[in-house]
Amino acid sequence: MRDFPDVPLRPFGYFVHHQGRGHAERCAAVVNALPAARPVRIFCARDDIFPPLRENVTVQKLPSLFEARGDEPKGAALLDTPDTTHCAPVGWTGIREAMAAMVQFFTDEAPELMIVDVSAEVAQLARLCSVPHVKILQHGDRSDAGHRAAYDGAAGLLAPFHVDLAQTDWAVWAEKIQFAPGLGVNVTLPEVKHAKATLKLGQRPMALVVCGGGGNGISEAALGVAARSYPQMDWITIGEVQRDWHATLPPNLFHRGWVDNAPDYIAAADLVISSTGNTTCAQVLTAAKPWIVVPEWRYFDEQLEKARALGQADAALYLPHMPSSAHAWRAAIEQAQSQHDPVRQRALAGGDDAAASTAHWLSSLANRLWDRPDISTSLKEVHHA
- For 101-129, b/e burial (b = at least 16 CB within 10 A) is ebeebbeeeebbbbbbbbbbbbbbbbbeb
Whether 3 shows a pLDDT value over 70: the answer reads no
What's the pLDDT score for residue 376? Answer: 45
Give percent above pLDDT 70 in the chain: 94
Type of residue at 174: A
Lowest mean pLDDT segment, chosen from 43-57, 181-195, 212-226 = 212-226
Q: Does pLDDT of 127 surpass 50?
A: yes
Among 223, 221, 217, residue whose Cα is nearest residue 241: 217
Number of H helices, E strands in the chain: 13, 15
Q: What is the pLDDT of residue 28?
A: 98
Collect all residues with Cβ–Cβ distance below 8 Å to 379 and sequence separation of at least 6: 9, 35, 37, 363, 367
Confidence of residue 380 (pLDDT cuts 50, 70, 90): very low
- Residue 8 confidence (pLDDT): 83
Burial call 209-247: b when 16+ CB within 10 Å, e when fewer: bbbbebeebbbbbbbbbbbbbbeebbbbbbbbbeeeeeb
Peptide bond into 118 cis (omega under 30): yes
- Mean pLDDT for 127-139 is 97
Cα(111)–Cα(213) distance, integer angstroms: 34
**Predicted local distance difference test score (pLDDT) of residue 246:** 86
Distance CA 261, CA 288 (A): 18
Structure confidence by residue, pLDDT tens digits, 302-339: 999 999 999 999 999 999 999 999 999 999 999 999 99
% of the chain at pLDDT higher than 90: 83
**In this structure, is the dihedral angle defined by the CA atoms of residues 138, 144, 147 and 150, taken in order, positive or negative?**
positive
Residue 224 phi, psi (nearest 5): -60, -40
| Residues 14, 114 contacting (CB under 8 angstroms) | yes
CA 204 to chain centre: 33
Q: Is the pLDDT of residue 83 over 50?
A: yes
Instruction: Please say whether the beta carbons of 235 and 256 come within 8 A.
Output: no
Q: How many angstroms separate the CA atoms of 65 and 56, rounded?
A: 26
Q: What is the pLDDT of residue 341?
A: 98
* DSSP reduced 3-state for 338: helix
pLDDT value at 71 more than 50? yes
For residue 245, is pLDDT > 60? yes
Q: What is the C-alpha separation between 116 and 123, in angstroms, rounded?
A: 6
How far is residue 152 CA from its own chain's centroid? 21
Express each pLDDT in 202-231 by its tens digit.
999 999 999 876 555 688 999 999 999 999
- Average pLDDT score over the chain: 92
Q: Which residues are CB-neighbours of 134 under 8 A, at least 6 positions away? A: 113, 114, 115, 116, 154, 155, 156, 157, 158, 362, 365
The pLDDT value given to residue 242: 86
Average pLDDT over residues 95-112: 98
The tens digit of pLDDT for each residue in 280-290 reads 999 999 999 99
- The three-state secondary structure class of 203 is coil
The identity of residue 188, as a single letter, is: T
Residue 266 in this model has a pLDDT that exceeds 60: yes
* Residue 187 pLDDT: 79
- Distance between first and last Cα of the chain: 27
Closest CA to 67 of 48, 84, 50, 92: 92
- The torsion angles phi and psi of 133, rounded to 5 degrees, stand at -125, 155
